[in-house]
Amino acid sequence: MVARRFAGCSVPVKITLFKAFCQTFYTSSLWANHTQKADNALRIQYNNTFRVLLRLPPYCSASGMFADAHTDDYFAVMRKKVASMMRRVGGSDNSILRVFAERLDGPTMGRFIKLHVLHAA
């Protein structure tokens, strides 16, 4: 729907729309218990949405298209969201939140490490 409605817009406008509609991923920093299959399916849809919106061929490189557009790819968005949440929790005055932030074996830290080690650019 978004691709058809904004087909006549310029590329910078389409990129802004993509960021507004597709990079929100509410509560994604808390996603700690999900399968790799679900993560891959979401990443593929994210990439395909960008291709459709910008009318790029389906075989073009995902990393290349995001680099050309100066836009974050799926893993960059996830890394930023998890890092932002950990920074906010770690800097909190709430002692309970600080306990969670200091746990190196917790699910949020596991997700953070997985995103940074396995998918760092």
The pLDDT of residue 29 is: 64
103-109 long-range contacts (CB < 8 A, ≥24 apart) are: 107/32, 107/33, 108/29, 108/30, 108/32, 108/82
In a domain, residue 1? The reply is no
This prediction has a pTM of 0.77
Domain ranges, residue 70 = 11-118
Query: Cα(first)–Cα(last) distance of the chain, in Å?
Result: 31
In a domain, residue 82? The reply is yes
In a domain, residue 102? The reply is yes
**Predicted confidence (pLDDT) per residue in 46-99, tens digit:** 999 999 999 999 999 999 999 999 999 988 888 888 888 878 888 888 988 888
Coil vs helix vs strand at 38:
helix
What share of the chain has pLDDT > 90, as a percent? Answer: 30
What share of the chain has pLDDT > 70, as a percent? Answer: 86
Q: What is the mean pLDDT of the chain?
A: 82
